Chains A and B, each alone.
Chain A
Amino acid sequence: GESVGLHLPTLSVQEGDNSIINCAYSNSASDYFIWYKQESGKGPQFIIDIRSNMDKRQGQRVTVLLNKTVKHLSLQIAATQPGDSAVYFCATDQTGANNLFFGTGTRLTVIP
């Protein structure tokens, strides 16, 4: 089965600093990777995704890095804002499986 884990269960950063949230996965067949943000009392919201044929993808203030060699995924948030405070999940899937495996989540707290 898949095992998706996060290195840090909690992360506190100062407003304006950059945040890095890490994720490790074990299934080498995983070829789709996604980050979700879950605010309190809400459902997970899509942030950014990446396929295994890429090692970096950028969005607005967010960057996902994929290292397939060590099966590691990270989410970088630039100039972190109070509104970024949430639990962040990584998830993996295989093309055609439609079966996302979620990591345990990292709670990001932004200190004003």
Chain B
Amino acid sequence: DTAVSQTPKYLVTQMGNDKSIKCEQNLGHDTMYWYKQDSKKFLKIMFSYNNKELIINETVPNRFSPKSPDKAHLNLHINSLELGDSAVYFCASSRWTEELQFFGPGTRLTVL
């Protein structure tokens, strides 16, 4: 009954590969987010979606493509993975009318 879940928890892959991370929330929220946390623990927003519509698209390489099939899901696809993509990626969700965001457990991506 996890509120915000992500799969996989760990992802190890080679440079140049394409991979996806999935996120699901069962809180009934209409807004979902992807964040990247670097090795220094700095958290930075990448994207946000409201009702399946892209709202925030920070300066992120276009190798990163979010997809929201419905309000409860926001997946992140990454093409041509690079060493610098290694990080922990967090999904979060909120109500559009509220600032409080609930975070998933994170996906640790390691690019070799």
Contacts and interface: CB of A to CB of B under 8 A. Distances in A.
Is chain B's binding surface mostly helix, strand, loop or mixed? strand
B100 A34 contact: yes
A43 B43 contact: no
B5 to A, nearest CB: 10
B48 A102 contact: no
Interface string B64-76: 0000000000000
Give the bracket for the number of chain A residues in contact with chain B. 20 to 34
A103 to B, nearest CB: 9
B55 A104 contact: no
Interface of A: 32, 34, 36, 38, 41-46, 49, 87, 89, 93, 95, 97-100, 102, 104-105
B90 A93 contact: no
B43 A102 contact: yes
B31 A98 contact: yes
Contact of A100 (B40, B99, B105): B99
Contacts of B4: 43
